[in-house]
Structure 1
Amino acid sequence: MSSSDGQSGTEPKEPSARHLETENDISKVQTHDGNVTKVVHADGTVDYIDAKAVGGNYDAMPAGYFRSPQFLGTLTAQCLASICAYLGWVLPANTLTLINADLGPSKNINWVATMWTMGSSIGFLLVGRLSDLYGRKWMVLGTSILGLVGCVIGSCAQTVETLIAANVCNGIAAAGQLSFGIVMGELVPNKWRGPIVTIVFLSSLPFAVFGPVIARSLFDNTVSKWRWSYYMGDILGVLSLVLYWFFYHPPSYDQLHVHGKTRLQMTKDLDFIGIFLYVSGCVLFLIGLSWGGSAYPWASAEVLCTLLIGIATLAAFAIYEGFFCKVQPLMPPRMFKNIGFVAIIVIATVGAMVYYSLTVLWPTIIGSIYTTDSMKIGWQSSVVGGGILLGQTIAGFTISYVPKVKWQCVVASALSFAFMTALTTISPDRWAVTIALGTLVCTWIGFVDNISFPGITLVWEAQDIGLATGVMGSIRGLGGAVAQALYASVLTNELNKNLPKYVVPAATAAGLPTSSIEALFAAITAGDFSTVPGINADIVSAVGSALKTAYTSSFRIVFYTTIPFSVILLLSSFLVPNMEKFLSYDVAKKLQSSEKSDVQGKTEGTATQSQV
Structure 2
Amino acid sequence: MADTKEIVPAGTVSHHEIAPEAEKPQLSHEEELRGRDFTISEINLPKGYFRSASFLGSMFAIGLSFGCGVGGFALAAPILGFIDADIGPDPNLTWVAISYLLTNSVGLTLVGRLSDLFGRRWFFIGGNILATLGCIVSATAPNIPALIAGETLIGLGAASQLSYASVIGEIVPTEYRFLAQGYAFLWGIPFSGFAPVIGYSFVFQSSVGWRGVFYVLIALNVVSTLCWVLFYRPPTFNMKHGKGRKTQFVKDFDYIGTFVGVLGLILLLMGLSWGGSLHPWKSAHVISTIVVGFVLMVAFVLYETFGNLKEPLIPMRLFRNTGWVITILLWALGASVYYAMAILWPSMVATLYSSGHSSMWAGWTSCLSNCGILFGEYCGAWGKKKTNYQIMVVFFIGSALLASMATCNPDTPVRAMVLVFIAAAFIGYNEILNSTVATIVIDDQREIGTATGVAGSARSFISTICSTVYTVVLTNRLAETRPAKVPSALLAAGLPSTSIVAFFAAITAGTPAAWAAVPGLTPAIQAAGVRAYQDASSSAYSTVFLTTIAFSGIGVICSFFAPNVDHLLTKDVAVTLHERGTEMIVKDRATGGEEKV
Output the TM-score relative to the length of structure 1.
0.88
Match of 2:447 in 1: 464
Cα deviations by residue, 1:425-461 (Å, 9 ceiling, x for unpaired): 1211111111111111111111111012221111122
- CA change 1:413–1:222 in 2 (3 A) is same
In 2, Cα distance between the equivalents of 1:598 and 1:35?
17
| 1:94 alignment partner, SS class | helix
The alpha-carbon distance between structure 1 residues 32 and 507, as it changes in their structure 2 partners (threshold 3 A), is farther
**Cα distance in 2, alignment partners of residues 434 and 39 from structure 1:** 58
Q: State whether residues 324 and 441 of structure 2, in contact with CA within 8 Å, keep that contact through their aligned partners in structure 1.
A: yes
Is the 2:42–2:571 contact (alpha carbons within 8 Å) kept by the matching residues of 1?
Answer: yes
Indicate which of 372, 376, 392 corresponds to 1:410.
392
The residue that corresponds to 2:126 in the other structure is 142
SS at match of 1:397: coil
8 Å CA contact 1:37–1:49 kept in 2: the answer is no
Q: In the superposition, relative to structure 1, how do residues 598 and 563 fare at CA in structure 2: closer, same or farther (>3 Å)?
A: closer
Superposition deviation, residue 514 in structure 1: 1.2
Aligned counterpart in structure 2 of residue 441 of structure 1, from 410, 423, 445? 423
| Aligned counterparts of 1:324 and 1:336: Cα–Cα separation in 2 | 16
CA distance in 2, matches of 1:36, 1:435: 62
1:21 aligned residue: none
What's the CA shift for 1:565?
0.6
For the Cα contact (< 8 Å) 2:109–2:454, is it kept in 1? yes
Matched ranges for 1:517-596 at <5 A:
517-527=500-510, 528-596=514-582
Measure the CA separation in 1 of the matches of 2:203 and 2:587.
54
| Pair 1:391 & 2:376 matched | yes
Cα contact 2:34–2:447 (8 A) shared by 1: no
How far did residue 420 of structure 1 move? 1.4
Equivalent in 287, 305, 308 of residue 270 of structure 2: 287
Q: From 341, 344, 350, give the equivalent of 1:358.
A: 341
Q: Structure 1 residues 342, 514: CA separation in 2 closer, same or farther (over 3 Å shift)?
A: same
Report if aligned partners of 1:387, 1:440 keep a CA contact under 8 Å in 2: yes
Q: Structure 1 residue 103: deviation in Å?
A: 2.9
Alignment check: 8 A CA contact 1:190 1:586 kept: yes
Alpha-carbon offset, residue 602 of structure 1: 6.0
2:410 aligned with 1:428: yes
- Whether the aligned pair in 2 keeps the contact of 1:154 and 1:163 (CA below 8 Å) is yes
Quote the residue 1:482 is aligned against. 465
Aligned residue type for 1:510:
A
The match for 1:19 is none
Kindly provide the amino acid, as one letter, of the partner of residue 563 in structure 1. I
How far the C-alpha of 1:143 sits from its partner, in A, is 0.7
Q: Which residue of 1 aligns with 2:5?
A: none
Answer whether contact 2:275 2:281 (CA < 8 A) is retained.
Answer: yes
Amino acid at match of 1:91: L
Identify the residue that residue 419 of structure 1 maps to in structure 2.
401
Q: 2:365 aligns with which of 380, 387, 399?
A: 380
SS class of match (1:311): helix
Conserved 8 A contact 1:73-1:243 = yes
Q: Does 1:509 align with 2:492?
A: yes
Equivalent residues of 2:344, 2:541 under 8 A apart: no
Query: Is the 8 Å Cα contact of residues 94 and 278 (structure 2) preserved in structure 1?
Result: no
1:225 aligns with 2:209: yes
Residue of structure 2 in register with 1:25 after alignment: none
Task: Name the CA distance, whole Å, in 2 between partners of 1:38 and 1:515.
Answer: 84
CA contact (8 A) 1:35 1:599 kept: no
Q: What is the rounded CA distance, in whole Å, between the counterparts of 2:568 and 2:28 in structure 1?
A: 18
The CA deviation at 1:250 is 0.6
> Measured at CA, do residues 273 and 480 of structure 1 come closer, stay the same or move farther in structure 2, by a change above 3 Å?
same
Letter in 1 for 2:284: A
Comparing 506-515 and 428-437, the one that deviates more: 506-515
Q: Which stretch has the larger CA shift, 81-90 or 325-334?
A: 325-334
Within 1, Cα distance between the matches of 2:372 and 2:28? 40
Query: Could you tell me how far apart the structure 2 residues matched to 1:601 and 1:486 are?
Result: 61
Q: Report whether the alignment pairs 1:455 with 2:441.
A: no
- Closer/same/farther in 2, CA of residues 598 and 525 from structure 1, 3 Å limit: closer
List aligned pairs for 1:109-508, cutoff 5 A: 109-258=93-242, 262-372=245-355, 373-399=358-384, 403-460=385-442, 461-508=444-491
Change (3 A) 1:501 1:600: farther
Deviation, 1:59, is 0.6
Tell me how far apart the structure 1 counterparts of residues 480 and 34 of structure 2 sit (CA, whole Å). 63
Paired residue type of 2:377: Q
Report the CA distance shift for 1:370/1:597 in structure 2 as closer, same or farther (over 3 A): closer
Cα gap change, 1:39/1:563 in structure 2, threshold over 3 Å: closer, same or farther? farther
Using a 3 Å threshold, how does the CA distance of structure 1 residues 123 and 147 change in structure 2: closer, same or farther?
A: same
How many Å separate the matches in 2 of 1:275 and 1:334?
17
Q: Is the Cα–Cα contact under 8 Å of residues 34 and 116 in structure 2 kept in the other structure?
A: no
Q: Would you say the 8 A contact 1:343–1:575 is kept in 2?
A: yes
Would the aligned equivalents of 1:347 and 1:572 in 2 still touch at CA under 8 Å?
Answer: yes
User: Contact 1:495–1:554 at 8 Å: present in 2 too?
Assistant: yes
> What's the CA shift string for 1:145-201, capped at 9, x where partnerless?
111111111111222232222222222222211222111210111111111111111
Give the deviation of 1:92 after TM superposition: 1.5
1:22 corresponds to: none
Partner of 1:27: none
Task: Summarize deviations over 1:507-549 as a string: whole Å, max 9, x none.
Answer: 2222221122222323333332222222222222122111111
Paired with 1:204 and 1:35, the residues of 2 have a C-alpha distance of 48
Q: Within 2, Cα distance between the matches of 1:512 and 1:349?
A: 48
Amino acid in structure 1 at the alignment position of 2:362:
I
Distance in 2 separating the partners of 1:308 and 1:388: 34
Q: Give yes or no for the alignment of 1:95 onto 2:112.
A: no
Aligned length: 569
* Maintained 8 Å contact 1:36/1:49: no
Check whether the contact 1:392–1:446 (CA below 8 A) recurs between aligned residues. Answer: yes
CA–CA distance in structure 2, aligned partners of residues 69 and 156 of structure 1:
35
Change beyond 3 A, Cα 1:36–1:375:
farther
Structure 2: distance between partners of 1:488 and 1:323: 38
User: In 2, are the aligned partners of 1:121 and 1:477 still within 8 Å (CA)?
Assistant: yes
For 1:149 and 1:281, how far apart are their aligned partners in 2?
27
Work out the CA distance in 2 between the residues paired with 1:544 and 1:384.
25
Deviation track 1:34-76 (CA, whole Å, cap 9, x = no partner) reads 98677779xx35358567xx25110110000100111111111
Q: Distance in 2 between matches of 1:223 and 1:39?
A: 62
Paired residue type of 1:553: S
Q: Give the structure-2-normalised TM-score.
A: 0.91
Asked whether 1:46 is paired with 2:18, we answer no
Whether the 8 Å contact between 2:128 and 2:161 is mirrored in structure 1 is yes
- 1:303 to 1:71, Cα distance in 2 relative to 1, 3 A: same
Q: In the TM superposition, what is the alpha-carbon distance from 1:105 to its structure 2 partner?
A: 3.0
Per the alignment, do residues 234 and 339 of structure 1 end up closer, same or farther by CA in structure 2, a change over 3 Å counting?
A: same
Instruction: Report the counterpart of residue 82 of structure 1 in structure 2.
Output: 66
Measured in 2, the distance between the counterparts of 1:376 and 1:465 equals: 42
1:209 touches 1:382 (CA, 8 Å); kept in 2?
yes
CA contact (8 A) 1:392 1:449 kept: yes
What code does the residue aligned with 1:74 have? S
The gaps in structure 2 that reach 5 residues or longer are 1-18
Looking at structure 1, the residues matched to 312 and 103 of structure 2 have their Cα atoms a distance apart, in angstroms, of 21
SS of aligned partner of 2:383: helix
Distance in 1 (alpha carbons) for counterparts of 2:20 and 2:470: 54
- 1:463 positional shift: 0.4
Residues in 2 aligned to 1:109 and 1:38: alpha-carbon distance in whole angstroms: 56
| Distance in 1 (alpha carbons) for counterparts of 2:390 and 2:407 | 27
